[in-house]
Amino acid sequence: MVMETMSHSSTFLLPTIPPSVDPRPPLSYALIVLNQRLPKFAPLLWEHAAKLRLCADGGANRLYDDFPLFFPHQCPSEVRNRYKPDVIKGDMDSVRGDVLDFYKNMGTKILNKSEDQDTTDLHKCVTYIKDSTLDQEKSNLCILVAGALGGRFDHEMGNINVLYRFSTIRIVLLSDDCLIHLLPRTHQHEIHIQSSVEGPHCGLIPIGMPSGMTTTSGLEWDLNDTEMRFGGLVSTSNLVKQDKITVQSDSDLLWTISLKKK
Ligand SMILES: Nc1ncnc2c1ncn2[C@@H]1O[C@H](COP(=O)(O)OP(=O)(O)OP(=O)(O)O)[C@@H](O)[C@H]1O
Ligand SMILES: Cc1ncc(C[n+]2csc(CCO)c2C)c(N)n1
């Protein structure tokens, strides 16, 4: 069976996204701001996320409190007026009243889903983006999630679970230190490394079920029809050795790569 190839590239971490032939048409980005320490490149993600910008519940506090800190020479209220989210969605147990009022007055859509205590605020936000995207646009959509890693472990695992629950949508979880996305088993994958901003440390991790056979190229420790499972081998502390990494597997894998400190 010939499998389609899916290309991945972290060009959203560059100041200007270079024109690319693959994927074509180019991706359109949405951003979700979570309630966690924001990566220093959060304003850059905001600029690239022309499609939609959302705050997951208490993520709105982070936008309000922390975005002005990225611009120490500018007036905080000017910064706040410049970065207006399209939507704040969640169960509203963390966003402060003053923050909600501020953005409501600016025209942000507020969606209170307090009746749903079975899905996370990130899940609720991804659902919003999914439902507001036409089917033919879904294949070019990429959702960037800022503040998804490095905090409470249950939240981190909940965030990773969202990658699996929406495995047909491109979603990238980001912190200052690394990014994570899913490599669905339905495709073979080409990962184009942006070496000015990412690498060399990387990992390929099967979560949920063992992967019977994975084959890679471009890594220091390539896999060759290799089995991975928790309790056995999982590929952590690997290194990227080439500009292009290829991955093919019989199960969904998480790809993670370190981000460079500037
Ligand atoms: N410490 C953290 N680490 C990773 N992600 C986080 C962390 N805190 C919050 N998040 C993410 O931000 C989203 C919004 O956070 P918020 O604190 O408003 O969430 P919450 O789900 O109501 O929290 P809790 O489950 O504690 O009530 C969460 O759904 C989660 O995705
Ligand atoms: C088995 C089970 N475990 C935990 C929760 C709690 N929970 C999961 S998501 C969420 C919303 C957080 O904003 C809450 C409270 C549940 N419902 N079911």
Mutate to test the pocket of ligand 2, among 118, 119, 126, 165 (most ligand atoms within 8 A of CB): 118
Q: Whose CA is nearest to atom 3 of ligand 1?
A: 151
Going along the chain, which residue ranges are E strands? 5-9, 28-33, 52-56, 87-90, 109-112, 141-146, 170-174, 178-183, 188-192, 198-205, 211-217, 226-228, 235-239, 244-249, 253-259
pLDDT at position 20? 77
d(C-alpha 12, C-alpha 217), whole Å:
24
Cα 172 to its chain centre, rounded Å, is 2
**Of 2-11, 19-28, 109-118, 234-243, which range is least confident?**
19-28
d(C-alpha 109, C-alpha 105), whole Å:
10
Q: What is the CA(183)–ligand 1 centre distance, in A?
A: 24
Are the beta carbons of 174 and 212 closer than 8 angstroms? no
Are the beta carbons of 129 and 54 closer than 8 angstroms? yes
For the chain, which residues make up each domain, given as ranges? Answer: 27-176, 178-261
Ligand 2 neighbours (beta carbon < 6 A): 91, 117-121
Q: What is the CA(6)–ligand 2 centre distance, in A?
A: 33
Segment 97-153, tens digit of pLDDT: 999 999 999 999 999 999 999 999 999 999 999 999 999 999 999 999 999 998 899
Mutate to test the pocket of ligand 2, among 112, 117, 157 (most ligand atoms within 8 A of CB): 117
Span 178-261 CATH architecture: Sandwich (2.60)
129 phi/psi in degrees, rounded to 5 = -65, -45
pLDDT at position 1? 67
Fold held by 27-176: Rossmann fold (3.40.50)
Q: Whose CA is nearest to atom 17 of ligand 2?
A: 118
Segment 13-23, tens digit of pLDDT: 999 988 876 77
Please choose, from the candidates 41, 15, 11, 2, the residue with its C-alpha nearest in 3D space to the C-alpha of residue 29.
11
Segment 189-198, tens digit of pLDDT: 999 999 999 9
Q: What is the CA(216)–ligand 1 centre distance, in A?
A: 34
Q: Whose CA is nearest to atom 9 of ligand 1?
A: 35
Segment 23-35, tens digit of pLDDT: 777 899 999 999 9
Q: C-alpha distances in angstroms, 241 versus 220, 221, 222, 235? A: 6, 9, 10, 15
Kindly tell me if the per-residue pLDDT of 225 is higher than 80: yes
What one-letter code names the amino acid at 156?
E
148 lines ligand 1 (CB under 6 A): yes
Q: Whose CA is nearest to atom 1 of ligand 1?
A: 151
